[in-house]
Structure 1
Amino acid sequence: MNLRALVSVTGKPGLFKLIGQNKGGFILETLDSAKIKSIVNLNTTKMATLEDITIYGEEEEIRLLDVFEKIKANGGNTPNTKASGEELRSFFREVAPGHDEARVYSSDIKKIISWYNIIKEFPLFEEEAPAPLQ
């Protein structure tokens, strides 16, 4: 799974594709059909690639990519983000066993489900991640 170019931006819904950089910050493009481009100033906005995001675990942090892989391996079926908190938690126990239930909220689970549903159709989801540089 090669999701290196996909980012989450604090305060903005959805996911973005990192397409470039200029003096003012990073140039991002929405993943929806509108393909709106915007510039994000890193001095005032926080941004994280999906590959860098982790989820609180009881013993160690769980990589978001591992959760996405588990969802994909289970057929890619996710509950509706409007489902009850218990239904969401039950689903998350299957795809992220060992997550810290006290620190991972229903809102976090909804966000992860919505992100998965956004990216599952993209070719980046099927590509292997490039090997790290040594």
Structure 2
Amino acid sequence: MNLRALVSVTGKPGLFKLVGQNKGGFILETLDQAKIKTVVSLSSTKMATLEDITIYGEEEEIRLLNIFETIKEKGIALPDTKSDGETLRNFFREVAPGHDESRVYSSDIKKVITWYNIIKEFPLFEEEAPAPLM
């Protein structure tokens, strides 16, 4: 899974593709049909690549990419984001066993489901991630 160029931006819904950089910040493109480009400031905006996002675990953090891989490999049906908290929690127990239930909220689970639905059809989801530089 090569999702290195996909980012989440604090305060903005959805996911973005990092397409460039200029003096003022990063140039991002929405992943929806509109393909709207926007610039986010380096100093005032928090962003995280999907590869860097982790979920609180009881023993160690769980990488978001590992959760996506589990959903993909097992063909697990995603619950609706409007499902009740227990349905969402049961789903997450299956795809992220060992997550810290006291620190992972329903809103976090909904975000994971939403993001998976956004990226599941993209070719990047099928590509292998490049090897890390040493």
Please tell me the TM-score bracket, short chain as reference: over 0.9
Aligned equivalents of 1:106, 1:17: Cα separation in 2: 25
The Cα offsets for residues 42-84 of structure 1, whole Å up to 9 and x where unpaired, read as: 2101000000000000000000000000011121520000001
Q: Once the 2 structures are TM-superposed, how far is the Cα of residue 133 of structure 1 from its aligned partner?
A: 1.1
- The answer to whether structure 1 residue 100 and structure 2 residue 100 are counterparts is yes
Aligned equivalents of 1:12, 1:105: Cα separation in 2: 19
> CA-atom RMSD, angstroms?
0.6
Higher mean Cα deviation, 87-96 or 75-84? 75-84
Which residue of the partner structure matches residue 83 of structure 1?
83
Which structure 2 segments of 5+ residues have no match? none
CA 6–76 in structure 1, closer or farther in 2 if over 3 Å, else same: farther
Q: Percent identity?
A: 82
* Matched pairs, number: 134
Aligned equivalents of 2:23, 2:125: Cα separation in 1: 30
- The answer to whether structure 1 residue 110 and structure 2 residue 110 are counterparts is yes
SS in 2 for 1:11: coil
Which structure 1 segments of 5+ residues have no match? none
Which residue of the partner structure matches residue 33 of structure 1?
33
Higher mean Cα deviation, 107-116 or 74-83? 74-83
Which residue of the partner structure matches residue 119 of structure 2?
119
Aligned equivalents of 2:124, 2:73: Cα separation in 1: 16
Letter in 2 for 1:70: T
SS in 2 for 1:14: coil
Aligned equivalents of 2:66, 2:34: Cα separation in 1: 29
Superposition TM-score, scaled by structure 1 size: 0.99
- The answer to whether structure 1 residue 44 and structure 2 residue 31 are counterparts is no
Aligned equivalents of 1:133, 1:38: Cα separation in 2: 29
Letter in 1 for 2:87: E
SS in 2 for 1:20: strand
Aligned equivalents of 2:107, 2:23: Cα separation in 1: 34
> Displaced runs of 4+ in structure 1, greater than 6 A?
none
Q: Once the 2 structures are TM-superposed, how far is the Cα of residue 110 of structure 1 from its aligned partner?
A: 0.1
